[in-house]
Amino acid sequence: MDRYDTYKDSGVSWLGNIPKHWKVSKVKHILFHKKKTSNPELNCGSISFGKIVYKDDESVPEHTKAAYQELLIGEFLINPLNLNFDLKSLRTAISNKNVVVSTGYIVLKNDNKTDKRFIKWLLHQFDVSFMKTLGAGVRQTLNYTDVKNSYFPVLPKEEQTTIANFLDYKTEKINRFIKKKKQLIKVLNEQKYAITNQAVTKGLDPNVSMKNSGIEWLGNVPEHWEVKKLKYVANCFPSNVDKHSLEDEKEVRLCNYTDVYKNDFITNAMELMIATAKDDQIIKFALKKGDVIITKDSETADDIANPALVIENLENVICGYHLSIMRPYSKLKGEYLLRALQCKPINVQFELCSNGVTRVGLGVADMKKAQIPLPPIEEQNNISNFIQSELDTIDKTISTIEKEITLVEEYKTALIAETVTGKIDVRDFKLPQVATQFAMVAEESSNYKNRN
């Protein structure tokens, strides 16, 4: 893109060189700190990933809400707290709703000399490039003084508006692209589940004779298949090895909850934590090739019994707490068991059996009574190989899409930075007519929602 004809040093680290006709000024001369005004009639709000969102009023005591400060449409909000908590989270926003917010927030207003949308993008870049370096203390918190004495560029309002139009238009197109790509990833993941479910419950031969399995959730299965409870085809037992390290115990590599939750396969190459265990624990819970490990505890019932398969002989690796081992007998292959447990109609049995209040758990008896369709060994191998091949193809497509999203997000980040700091010249940008009409409709729609 074009650059401005001449530049000068702004003297401000996060701005660098700026166009020669731009100036710099302290924020306090551009944005004004709004006096804390209470308005308990309004809903509570907060900032989340660069947007103002409603907060559950019932979770805020009346006396606390009465002390909250007013934030109106078109005003700016900065979250100055715990800047080191999430470095990627945007902490500035322009409000699109009338709310009250915690007094810990900083509320700012602009005057008619500046374009609100340009200030929004400028605050965005200030947040990304500089603001998080201003915080102090263990919690890395800043105050209004830190903000007001920082420097912003000063440029003609007409130019601000053009920059805002450019960024609104470009980022909207980018966001639509990213949204569509993420929707495609969702569809592909659903396709993975569908492939697994079909292969595990119906097999690979569409012409095979079927029979009633006698189980409502499973329906018909190939005529030559069996349906067995897990206790007849695998040894199921939970681990009691925690993450401690004691001097009188032996050092081991511990396969933990997250290792299983985040992976389909457990390998020697994984970076597992070091802990200790007793001799009898090492004998009982040492992981073997072909073992399937499941998460036996979870915060929610619909997220329990996530499986992972041990695909090679491991060196001194034992199963950790909150996990259970399923060790297949001769009629069951670990590769097939993995896919069976990833099949929703089968996994839902564990969901229904789990119990608890703040956390849910799965007992040994509940694991053992779960039923799975059981093809002959050769067919189990064929089903496992088919699923793996199909999933590999889909995963490669997903990986390519994720790389596209990453590149486009990096491009958007660079585009915002280059534009608001004057590294590229967009003064000749004209908002397409369709986009202009869309912006007008969107603004009218927003105003209507706020009035009602």
187-189-195 Cα angle (round to 5)? 100
pLDDT digits (tens, 9 = 90+) for 326-362: 999 999 999 999 999 999 889 889 888 888 767 888 8
Q: Regarding predicted confidence, which is higher, 131 or 317?
A: 317
Q: How confident is the model at residue 179 (pLDDT cuts 50, 70, 90)?
A: very high
DSSP codes, 132-189: GGS-BTTTTB--HHHHHTSEEEE--HHHHHHHHHHHHHHHHHHHHHHHHHHHHHHHHH
Average pLDDT over residues 414-443: 81
Number of neighbouring beta carbons within 10 Å of residue 122:
24
| Residue 216: per-residue pLDDT | 85
**19-28, 50-59, 220-229, range with the lowest pLDDT:** 50-59
Q: In what order do the strands lie in the sheet with 234-238?
A: 234-238, 323-328, 292-295, 307-310, 265-266
Q: How confident is the model at residue 1 (pLDDT cuts 50, 70, 90)?
A: confident
Strands (E), 208-262: 210-212, 220-222, 226-229, 234-238, 250-255
Q: How far apart are CA 99 and CA 101, in angstroms?
A: 7
pLDDT digits (tens, 9 = 90+) for 2-23: 999 999 999 999 999 999 999 9
Q: How far apart are CA 63 and CA 340, in angstroms?
A: 54
| Residue 441: per-residue pLDDT | 47
Q: How confident is the model at residue 440 (pLDDT cuts 50, 70, 90)?
A: low
Query: Computed over its alpha carbons, how large is the radius of gyration of the chain?
Result: 29
Average pLDDT over residues 149-169: 97
Name, of 51-65, 81-95, 116-130, the range with top average pLDDT.
Answer: 116-130
CA separation (Å) from 117 to 146, 176, 418? 23, 19, 16
pLDDT beyond 70 at 104 = yes
Q: What share of the chain is helix, strand, coil (3-state, %, to 5)?
A: 40, 25, 35
Cβ(230)–Cβ(371) below 8 Å = yes
Average pLDDT over residues 188-214: 95
SS3 28: helix
Q: Which residues contact 185 (CB under 8 A, 6 or more apart)?
A: 398, 401, 402
Q: Which residues contact 117 (CB under 8 A, 6 or more apart)?
A: 94, 161, 164, 165, 167, 168
Domains along the chain with CATH numbers: 23-154 (3.90.220.20), 157-203+377-452 (1.10.287), 207-374 (3.90.220.20)
Cβ(348)–Cβ(207) below 8 Å = no
State the greatest distance between any 2 C-alpha atoms of the chain, in Å, as a whole number. 82
pLDDT beyond 80 at 60 = yes
Average pLDDT over residues 54-69: 88
pLDDT digits (tens, 9 = 90+) for 116-153: 999 999 999 999 999 888 877 777 888 899 999 999 99
Q: How confident is the model at residue 88 (pLDDT cuts 50, 70, 90)?
A: low
- Residue 302 phi, psi (nearest 5): -80, 5
DSSP class of residue 436 equals: H
Total-model pTM: 0.81
Average pLDDT over residues 354-380: 89
| Residue 443: per-residue pLDDT | 57
DSSP codes, 347-383: HHHHHHH-EESSSEE--HHHHHH-EEEE--HHHHHHH
Average pLDDT over residues 394-417: 96
